[in-house]
Amino acid sequence: MATPSLSWFCFVILLCSAAAEALEGGFSVELIHRDSPKSPFYDPSETPFQRAEKAVRRSIARVRGLRSNDEGDPSADITRVDTDYLINITIGTPPMSIVAIADTGSDLIWTQCPPCKNCFPQVAPWFNPRASSTYAQVDCKSDKCKVFDQSNCSSQGSTCQYSVTYGDKSYSVGNISTDTVGLTTLTGSAVTFPGMVFGCGFDNDGLFSIHTSGIVGLSPGDASLVSQIGGDEGTLFSYCLVPFFSTSKSTSKLTFGSDAALTGDVVTTPLILNSPGPYYYLTLEGISINGKKFEVSGSSGLGAVPGNMVIDSGTTLTWLPSNLYGQIVQAVSEAISLPIVTDPIAGNSLCYRSSGVLKGAPSITVHFTDADVVLNWYNAFFQFKEDITCFSFLPTDDQPIYGNLAQMDFRISYDLTLNNLNFEPFDCAA
């Protein structure tokens, strides 16, 4: 797959004007954690620690999906789809509600459509193109067919088709189409975008859930939601993730437009957008434990090179280069005097006999280029069992990832005009 470009444009004048009007001042929508009461995955019989264990297992599986393909193009497989956050959208006229995976590592909006040759089971009805007065298929010779790199002409005619395979070998095949896509804001108003490009999937299989109907891509790719919103405002979005064990009824939120700009205690680092894959990359320079800095070293993709770390809202844990992790975990273990216990899930994390606030947790600062991000203790430690708390960083010899536990209680703003990413400490449950 070719590297996603940043040709942030609208496909038709109608879409540009609608987006500009909708984004005046910006708007926010809910990001629903899959283990929260608002999620269709929510099981009230599960304990918080059972949900925590499931989140860690998803993170381990997802990082495997981000590994490079040693036998070919390292960007041939897109990240695993089993992510932590969901988003509600509507497609069509009249609008049909769809619960989809919100994924910063995917660059296409798609949902299941009849006639399905091979579709995974889902609780909600399929989106029916014939029931929408604004639906249209895309001709394979049109510019809209070129918006997604993995599209081509169908064998039956001039219809534009897409084919995407994820890192866990799940896949979706279907028609590139256009229709009105809508979002409901936190204030209850509807924001609609006519003529938005999306995939109508008729052959979809793999490790998808019955509770979702597709994916909403939030990557820098031209076919993603953030790209297609268009206009000057459409190149700025942010999210604020509520901590995992928060007792607040507040949900995480995703904000588009000028409201996504940060004005508080902000640190800024460059976004690297020309690396392989539909991802957002940062440059990790090192990590400090109680003021002692340990720097990234080496000349490989895991070393101190631009774009050496993916920031991913769909991965729970943070994965560090193995050589850096070894130094960090040694410094953390020296700082905490609590009894060390065996990691009950991942098998190789530093874990302590502890519940609640971790006593003696060291101060941890993550150093990105031009941005020092000071973490809260719960950004770096995660309670897996009632009496076991573990370090939420793990080693990898593949792609390092800055996970969502490290991002919670920060407003994180993506400025795709200036190509930078901004961090602001914030109470996301407020």
Catalytic residues: 103, 312
Place of tokens 């993550």: 366
Q: Is the preceding peptide bond at 121 cis, omega within 30 degrees of 0?
A: no
Helix, strand, coil distribution of the chain in percent, nearest 5: 15, 35, 50
Complete DSSP assignment for 173-191: EEEEEEEEEEEE-TTS-EE
Q: Which residues of 40-76 are buried (b: 16+ CB within 10 A; e: fewer)?
A: ebeeeeeeebebbbbbbebbbebbebbbbeeeeebbe
Q: What's the distance, Cα to Cα, between the start and end of the chain in Å?
A: 41
Q: CA dihedral defined by 221, 226, 230, 231, rounded to 10 degrees?
A: -120
Tokens 């091979």 identify what position?
118
Nearest residue to 166 (alpha-carbon basis) of 202, 205, 127: 205
CA 75, CA 368: separation in Å to the nearest integer?
24
How far apart (Å, rounded) are the C-alpha atoms in residues 307 and 213?
32
Phi and psi torsions of 267, nearest 5°: -120, 145
Count of beta carbons in the 10 Å neighbourhood of residue 185: 17
Which tokens belong to 65? Answer: 């999906």
